[in-house]
Amino acid sequence: MVESGGLRSDGGEETEANGVDRVLVLNPVSGDANHREQVRELADQNGFTVLETQGEGEAVRFARLAAASGADLVAAAGGDGTLNGVARGLDAADALGEVTFAVVPCGTGNNFAGNVGVESITHAFEVIERGERRRIDVATADGRLFLNSCVAGVTADASASTTPEMKERFGVLAYVVGGLRSVTSFDGLPLSVEAVGPDCEETWSGEAVTVLVGNARRFPVEGHTQANVEDGLLDVTIVERMPSAELVEEAAIQRLFGEETEHVTRLLSSELRVDVRRDEPAEFSFDGEMGSYESVRMTTRTRELELPVGEKYEPTPE
């Protein structure tokens, strides 16, 4: 059991809060599940109370309790889903704008951590102590917060079949590759999309293979995956046509997502509405957490969240 003040990680009743300053929410089974002792040792050295999750929803609950207990710094140690849960817990406590959020990457892909310049577990604690603090955007989908990205279509349906090896090989497009390999046919997801951008409004409708919406993430095949996460805009990529079978190979995926292609629509949007034009809802994945929607409105809360960033973070990436 880990206990401090009003915080317990053994599932017991919470006691009265007594001013815990630093809390780390640890998912011990993220990634390859061999990080627990290292994280706990570094957390202890840096003055954190550790709350270890044991089940679904506990990252959200522990972060909410940490904020209620007076924590001014809450770190999330896990993959993108754990980070998402901790951020949602702070938001549920109406503390997202007041509590500093920190990232300790322990997952498989750790895409959000990479996008904010945090490269490893050890580096994460160095960044917490000495890194620059920035205020970044968070995104919401009908009030549901996400930090990194939202995906729908074949990528969301196939997230379970995406292996660590595929993530290492294909990077941010691993879910696309996994989706194409996991289905024998995909008729497309009938959608209509309305996007309000910096200078105009744009609409799109048709059969999409996948829709990729990035807050901190953008979706190139090569180069830096970090989007501008301080501009109040979502990076939207719509893959419009089902590729042929040979496009599961890396070179063909690169052609599909190249800068000059008729199969991909890219938008920058401050407000996005996606309507599913069929009888049943579609699955959307928010930082790996699933939800079903017939229609969803996404927007950003500009520079809502403060966090320490690493040296490779770029406030205005190209």
Residue percentage of the chain with pLDDT more than 70: 76
- pLDDT classification of 303: cutoffs 50, 70, 90: very high
Whether 165 and 257 share a structural domain: yes
Q: Is 112 exposed, middle or buried (0-12, 13-18, 19+ CB in 10 A)?
A: buried
Tell me if 306 is assigned to some domain.
Answer: no
For the chain, the domain total comes to: 2
Tell me the C-alpha distance between 222 and 242, whole Å. 21
CATH number at residue 175: 2.60.200.40
Residues 256-286: pLDDT tens digits? 555 555 678 889 999 999 999 999 999 999 9
- Predicted local distance difference test score (pLDDT) of residue 10: 47
Q: What is the mean pLDDT of residues 150-174?
A: 63
**Residue listed under structure tokens 């699933």:** 290
pLDDT at 68 over 50: yes
Q: Which of 130, 155, 174 is the last residue of a domain?
A: 130
Q: What is the mean pLDDT of residues 46-52?
A: 97
Q: What is the mean pLDDT of residues 193-210?
A: 89
Whether 119 and 180 share a structural domain: no
Contacts for 123 with CB less than 8 Å, ≥ 6 apart: 310
Tell me if 135 is assigned to some domain.
Answer: no
Tell me if 163 is assigned to some domain.
Answer: yes
Tell me if 309 is assigned to some domain.
Answer: no
**Dihedrals φ, ψ of 240, to 5°?**
-95, -15
Q: What is the mean pLDDT of residues 62-75?
A: 97
- Predicted local distance difference test score (pLDDT) of residue 177: 62
Any idea how long the chain is? 318
Tell me if 312 is assigned to some domain.
Answer: no
- Predicted local distance difference test score (pLDDT) of residue 257: 56
For residue 74, give the nearest of 189, 299, 287, 82 by alpha carbon.
Answer: 82
Tell me if 186 is assigned to some domain.
Answer: yes
Whether 50 and 190 share a structural domain: no
Whether 213 and 92 share a structural domain: no
- Predicted local distance difference test score (pLDDT) of residue 4: 41
**Helix 58-68 with 80-92: angle, nearest 10 deg:** 40
> When comparing pLDDT for 33 and 306, which is higher?
306
Whether 180 and 281 share a structural domain: yes
Whether 151 and 118 share a structural domain: no
Task: Give the chain's mean pLDDT.
Answer: 84
Q: Of 100-104, 193-197, 240-244, which one has max mean pLDDT?
A: 100-104
- Predicted local distance difference test score (pLDDT) of residue 3: 42
Whether 152 and 292 share a structural domain: yes
Whether 122 and 61 share a structural domain: yes
C-alpha dist (Å) from residue 9 to 36, 51, 54, 75, 100: 14, 5, 8, 15, 21
Whether 222 and 78 share a structural domain: no
> When comparing pLDDT for 177 and 313, which is higher?
313
Weakest-pLDDT range from 4-18, 136-150, 187-201: 4-18
Tell me if 311 is assigned to some domain.
Answer: no
> When comparing pLDDT for 33 and 126, which is higher?
126
Whether 284 and 176 share a structural domain: yes
CATH number at residue 83: 3.40.50.10330
Weakest-pLDDT range from 3-17, 110-124, 181-195, 211-225: 3-17
Weakest-pLDDT range from 54-68, 98-112, 207-221: 207-221
- Identify whether the C-beta of residue 127 lies closer than 8 Å to the C-beta of residue 113: no
Q: What is the mean pLDDT of residues 47-70?
A: 96
Q: What is the mean pLDDT of residues 151-157?
A: 71
Whether 79 and 219 share a structural domain: no
Query: Which pair of structure tokens corresponds to residue 240?
Result: 């419009």
Angle (CA) 208-213-216 rounded to 5° is 160
Tell me the C-alpha distance between 211 and 202, whole Å. 15
The total of other beta-carbon atoms located within 10 Å of residue 199's CB is 6
Contacts for 310 with CB less than 8 Å, ≥ 6 apart: 116, 117, 118, 119, 123, 127, 131
- Predicted local distance difference test score (pLDDT) of residue 243: 52
Q: Which of 81, 101, 130 is the last residue of a domain?
A: 130
Query: What domain range includes position 243?
Result: 146-301
Weakest-pLDDT range from 214-218, 221-225, 258-262: 258-262
Tell me if 310 is assigned to some domain.
Answer: no
Residues 181-193: pLDDT tens digits? 655 556 678 999 9
Whether 123 and 203 share a structural domain: no
Residues 38-48: pLDDT tens digits? 999 999 999 99
